[in-house]
Structure 1
Amino acid sequence: MNERINELIRKRNQKLRKAYTRPVIESPTSATVVPCAKLDTGLRPNITKMNIEHDKTKLKMAPSWFDADDAQEALRGIVYPSNTVDQRPFNTIARYRMATGQSNNFRQQSLNIDENSTETLILMLDAFAQQFGADLSFTNDELPFDEGAYRTACGVANLGSAHLLPTNNIPTAGFSVLVHLDYDKNLAKSNDTMKEFLLNFTLAIARKLNIPEDYVRIFSVEKSTETPNTTIVHFGLTSPNQKETKQMADDFQEQARSGFGENALLHYIKPADYPYSWAPALSYLQLRPNDFAPDYNMDYRKSGMPESQHRGGYTYYLPIGWYRHALKVDQKYPDDAVWLGSTNGKGEWPVAFHGTNSSKISGVASKGLIISATENDFAREEAVEQMGPGMDQQGIYLTTHCNGGAHPQYTRPFCVQLPDRTNKTFRVVFMCRVQPGKFTTHHVSTSTGLIWRVVDPDAVRPYGILVKDEDTLDKIQPNP
């Protein structure tokens, strides 16, 4: 995996060096025309959203290989139920329905809210994405699930990598730098001038740090209220590996202390000791309707379900009381499908659960699986003792039990408002397979069963999303 990413980075940097021609340096005055590098437009990231306001511009950036769906087309002619207050759930489902060829008339085809409804699952994933500042995007193009860490680092996750977001495994190093350019005169006077600045600033940072351009994303640009004729640029650096991201951030921080005097665009950055902060940052969670596999959905709410089975030589504790929405994972990974077997045979990957805190549709920031564990990486030292120095990296934590393990302490309820203005509350858990030999096992007194710690993101493969109606919580007994 690392070799493939390094090869992609090497080829990308070769293209960047060929595509970039340094422009002439100009003095940083309020009348300065912002220099524009000559770019190969095929290398540019996409600015998928940009809203220029009086004192601030907000935007979303995504890699060139990403295409956002046409939300405006999906909402054309939409018919909401009578007395609708919150339109967002209907707008989200209208976009999903356009991708599946269904009607956006919600009076004729009502919104389906239930544990076993794909539309309910879509709304939960929308709430999940909002926690990280991301939007849903729908596509009918094939979405590969391998190299999920690389794609997530570029700002676009899918159902094969969404579980990585709350683990702090692929965090973004966020900077806010002061630039000696006037927001009104130099940048915000037109969409074109702002766009050219954003794209050239991104390229200049990438070239200066010798990293892929997709690893640099600008989140917003705002007029400084403290220093006249200056602008604050908020941007982030992300790579698939946290140590690599830290090195990138430290390199920028060190160079910014003395300034970028010889760079035609970056020399406008005021020399300073800029701090950076860590947080997951995503632009889009991309969904392909065909990646849901309803034929393989499973209702664990039915009576008579066994409490445990075996997968890959490990005990599999069934998520009693939940409904599983299956993901279409065949042909998503380069190896065979033995890993997904259910006969407890050789080559199968065992089952574990990833309880991800969610929030209300309005979007309240929250944290993910095993909050204290992922913040402190409590099992890191023990993992190194079990499997050696290769485990001395940021860990991803999973549980062997859904009830009493991932849930309820590591899930959080979120609400969907029904047309009659009542609320329906659900919880969500990722159901995963974990590669044998790639995890260590740990005990936590507050959790039923074991905790598994993984450092390789590709060693965890979600194959289902569990949904639970909050109203049934007290009816289900945790697995022993």
Structure 2
Amino acid sequence: MYMDSNLKAEVLSSILGQIVKPYDKNLCKTKDNTLSVDDFHLHNLIGRQHGKQFFIDGKNFFDSAYDYDFTDLSDSAECTRGEELYQRPKGWYRMALKVKGRYPDGDAWLGTKGWRSHSVPGEWPVSYHGTSLDGVKGIIRSNYTAGGRALYGRGIYSTPDIHVAEREDYAKTFTSETTGKSYKVILQNRINPEKREICQRSDYWLIPVPKGASAAVEKQIVESSIRPYGILIKELNGNESNDDDAGLLGSILHSLYSTVQSLFR
């Protein structure tokens, strides 16, 4: 089901907030209308704007060899990536992005393919961030983009805890025209440990972005600091709305608590 090209295009549409369609050589006249992984990455994290409709060439965008089905994962073994605890996304399916060979510093940041519980030299820790474009509903901007509302500083936020990304109202939800089902979507990243800051709330990680940074500087910061390598998707069930309400309530309470604390610093 998750290999369907129309569903994948819908997932990207939900993340970017604009129409993405499977590649059609009769409709896609120029390469400028074909969404690349780089464009997707920059648009999602620092808000680069595109046209009203894009096409997705699945063979050049996704890397199915690295897809992984975590939906029925029962293994509770502790794992590390980049010498940090790796919370495997149980209950989700990963659509892997084609990122191998894409960066000039090589592929060590990705680690090695296949199951392992330990870290390998040069790899980066795993983090997650939501994709909601519905406005500010939690502690920070809902899609973790650089902005003035961030509680712990200006920059790009992610979390090592997938439950934070899922339940604090940052995950994007959409209903597929292809399957008729509803889904949640979260991005799975690797984050450069040398450029990441751990916030006062330790399950929030920050990549600082200086105020007034040019587009070129923001692009350099993003590409050298945080790199999505998979899109996680999960089918919703009838109980999800209650879970979302509980997560949102927890987010609001934490935000109020943090605000009160700041008054007495």
TM value normalised by structure 2: 0.67
Q: For this pair of structures, how many residues does the alignment match? A: 210
Please name the residue that 1:452 is paired with. 205
Identity rate, percent: 26
Please name the residue that 1:289 is paired with. 58
Q: Which runs of 5+ in 1 are unaligned?
A: 1-113, 141-153, 171-279, 359-365, 381-393
- Cα displacement (A) at 1:162: 2.5
Please name the residue that 1:424 is paired with. 181
Matched, 1:302 2:75: no
Q: Which amino acid aligns with 2:9?
A: I
- Cα displacement (A) at 1:163: 4.3
Matched, 1:406 2:165: yes
Distance 2:238 2:105 in 1: 39
Q: Which amino acid aligns with 2:222?
A: P
- Cα displacement (A) at 1:282: 2.1
Q: What is the CA deviation profile of residues 95-150 of structure 1, one whole-angstrom value per residue up to 9, with x for unaligned ones? A: xxxxxxxxxxxxxxxxxxx4454432221212333x2x56557489xxxxxxxxxx
Distance 2:23 2:137 in 1: 26
- Cα displacement (A) at 1:468: 0.5
Please name the residue that 1:464 is paired with. 230
Distance 1:139 1:332 in 2: 24
- Cα displacement (A) at 1:334: 1.4
- Cα displacement (A) at 1:418: 5.2
Residues 356 and 369, structure 1, Cα contact 8 Å, conserved in 2: no
Note closer, same or farther for the CA distance 1:329–1:431 as it changes in structure 2 (3 Å cut): same
- Cα displacement (A) at 1:415: 0.8
Residues 293 and 327, structure 1, Cα contact 8 Å, conserved in 2: yes
Matched, 1:352 2:127: yes
Q: What is the CA deviation profile of residues 254-280 of structure 1, one whole-angstrom value per residue up to 9, with x for unaligned ones? A: xxxxxxxxxxxxxxxxxxxxxxxxxx6
Note closer, same or farther for the CA distance 1:135–1:117 as it changes in structure 2 (3 Å cut): closer
Distance 1:430 1:164 in 2: 13
Note closer, same or farther for the CA distance 1:164–1:398 as it changes in structure 2 (3 Å cut): farther
Please name the residue that 1:326 is paired with. 96
Distance 1:308 1:450 in 2: 17
Residues 157 and 282, structure 1, Cα contact 8 Å, conserved in 2: no
Note closer, same or farther for the CA distance 1:378–1:370 as it changes in structure 2 (3 Å cut): same
- Cα displacement (A) at 1:412: 3.0
Residues 395 and 453, structure 1, Cα contact 8 Å, conserved in 2: yes
Structure 1 residue matching 2:119: 3-state secondary structure:
coil
Query: What does 1:228-267 correspond to in 2, within 5 Å?
Result: none
Q: 1:159 aligns with which of 7, 14, 37?
A: 37
Note closer, same or farther for the CA distance 1:418–1:156 as it changes in structure 2 (3 Å cut): closer
Q: Which runs of 5+ in 2 are unaligned?
A: 26-31, 113-117, 210-220, 244-265
Structure 2 residue matching 1:339: 3-state secondary structure:
helix
Distance 1:369 1:397 in 2: 15
Matched, 1:437 2:194: yes
- Cα displacement (A) at 1:158: 2.9
- Work out which of the two has the higher radius of gyration on C-alpha atoms and give 1 or 2: 1
Residues 115 and 469, structure 1, Cα contact 8 Å, conserved in 2: no
Q: Which amino acid aligns with 2:203?
A: L
- Cα displacement (A) at 1:353: 0.6
